[in-house]
Amino acid sequence: MARKALNNPRQIRAKSCGCSLCVAKFRPDEKPTRKDCTGSWQARYRDPGGKQCHQNFATKKGAESFLIEAKSAMARGTYLDPAKSQITLTRWHGMWWPNQRGALNTLTRDERMWRLHVEPVFGTWPLASISWLDVDRWVKKIHGPLSASSIPAAFQILDRLLTAAVLDKRILNNPCDSIKLPKVRKKHPQDRKPPTYAQLDLIREHLPAHHHALTIVAQETGLRWGELVGLRRCHVDLDGARLHVHEVLEDARGHLGRKEYPKSDAGLRTVPLTPLAVGTLRAHLEKSPAAATRSKVQDGLCATELVFKGPRKAVMRQANFRTTWVKAVERAGVARITKDMVTGRNECWPQFHKIRHAYASRLHALGVPEVVVQEILGHERGGEVTWIYTHAAADTAGQVLAALVSEGIPLRAESTESPHPHPVGPDSTGLDRVENPRRERVLTP
């Protein structure tokens, strides 16, 4: 066993010092100019892994205090290597990012949030120097360039980075804990309702003919955009009136790609086809045939197998279709333009994704149980389906009006000089007499 060092901490000789020991080491031909040494003090210790470490201090007292604190932290299991906590956030991101896993779209969004909003502010900061107040000020600062609904995406990157630093024993705690994010302003219930099928018919009249089959199948199945444009002929069973969702197409960083699994495991499902959907698909496939071969995801896009393709027989891009969709919505006269109060961006209702909500509302009107709708739509959680069930198909204002009118008794208001409507006396108020000089409006049948 190694013998414990007796000269710990020890003083390090300095070239700029004029004491006899430092002069003898660095300038032996000169005479000493002072008695006391000005060199730093080095504290030596071994970390929990047995690695030899050291820290330099200006005074001996500082070095001794550090050794005491380091030994106590190792005994409590809270020791942190000072060198590990001094790396910058950008360097730590470079070590942490290669281990991240997830959908390509999610990784693309995270990379963009880091590059645009996190790195410019905290990139050069050492991990140990980021405080709770710094993070809170940053959240307040980006509330403007980012909407309240987008701030969590940027905040999540910083939170995950610092959480990983805590787990890697680089910092003691995460300064992102207990940060209050801006409250997301919900849209008006009228703007959250799905379009009716009559409105969808009006919109389809103003779409190019090659998009009609896509919108009809969307409203008859409730598929997501990536599931629709990624639907392959081998997954459509027209005789059995079923289609099987096995994969999707995703557009990330401007590149289209196939994804073996949909948005979630719940997305792997079988969806029934109505007679309208079957007839539409048969007519569409006669005009635009699709190969029934079954290729692998690794084989590439294989656009010849896709049921829905663009006018040039290429894979459809959502950005291109969105422009066509918005124009058709405006020409149909059903568009409602809403403005985000934070970002100032205009949004046109209804979006194509709202067709899924219209499909769910239709199933609700037919009495299909909520859990079945959740499975058909491919939702792991029923939050969105529950909202549609409780709000989308219900006209609460109309229900209240119908309840009032159903009484059959009109209400009229009369202005009268009336005493206080409740009995007044010593037992009720402690006063023998209370006058009511106000002019009250009393509803009388």
Q: List, for residues 9-32, the tens digit of each pLDDT value.
A: 998 989 889 899 999 989 998 899
Query: What is the pLDDT, as a whole number, of residue 236?
Result: 95
Kindly state the average pLDDT of the residues 192-201.
89
- Residue 123: exposure state from Cβ atoms within 10 A (0-12, 13-18, ≥19): middle
Query: What is the pLDDT, as a whole number, of residue 155?
Result: 94
Q: How far apart are CA 257 and CA 431, in angstroms?
A: 82
Q: How far apart are CA 426 and CA 282, in angstroms?
A: 85
Query: What is the pLDDT, as a whole number, of residue 430?
Result: 40
Query: What is the pLDDT, as a whole number, of residue 224?
Result: 92
| Sign of the alpha-carbon dihedral angle for 323, 325, 328, 334 | negative
Q: Does 81 have pLDDT greater than 50?
A: yes
Residue 260 CA from chain centroid, whole number: 22
**What pTM does this model have?**
0.66
Residue 324: both structure tokens together:
């066509």
Q: Does 164 have pLDDT greater than 70?
A: yes
Query: What is the pLDDT, as a whole number, of residue 402?
Result: 72
Query: What is the pLDDT, as a whole number, of residue 142?
Result: 87
Coil, strand or helix: which one is 55?
strand
Q: Does 229 have pLDDT greater than 50?
A: yes
| Cβ atoms of 27 and 20 closer than 8 Å | no
Measured at the alpha carbon of residue 302, what is the angle toward residues 297 and 305, in degrees to the nearest 5?
105
* Comparison of pLDDT for 68 and 278, the residue scoring more: 278
pLDDT band at 394 (very low <50, low <70, confident <90, very high): low
Which residues, 6 or more positions from 54, have their beta carbon under 8 angstroms from its beta carbon? 42, 43, 44, 45
Kindly state the average pLDDT of the residues 45-68.
85
Q: How far apart are CA 22 and CA 180, in angstroms?
A: 56
Q: Does 146 have pLDDT greater than 80?
A: no
Q: List, for residues 317-369, the tens digit of each pLDDT value.
A: 888 899 999 999 999 999 887 665 544 567 788 889 999 989 988 988 888 88
Q: Does 109 have pLDDT greater than 50?
A: yes
Q: List, for residues 261-317, the tens digit of each pLDDT value.
A: 776 777 889 999 999 999 999 999 999 999 999 999 889 889 999 999 987 888 898
* Comparison of pLDDT for 410 and 251, the residue scoring more: 251
pLDDT band at 388 (very low <50, low <70, confident <90, very high): low
Residue 435 CA from chain centroid, whole number: 60
For residue 130, the 8-state DSSP code is: -
Query: What is the pLDDT, as a whole number, of residue 410?
Result: 53
Closest CA to 38 of 65, 56, 15, 66: 15
Taking all residues of the chain, what is their mean pLDDT, rounded to a whole number? Answer: 82
Q: Does 75 have pLDDT greater than 60?
A: yes
Q: Does 414 have pLDDT greater than 50?
A: no
Which domains, ranges and CATH numbers included, belong to the chain? 10-79 (no CATH), 89-167 (1.10.150), 193-391 (1.10.443.10)
| Cβ atoms of 231 and 306 closer than 8 Å | yes
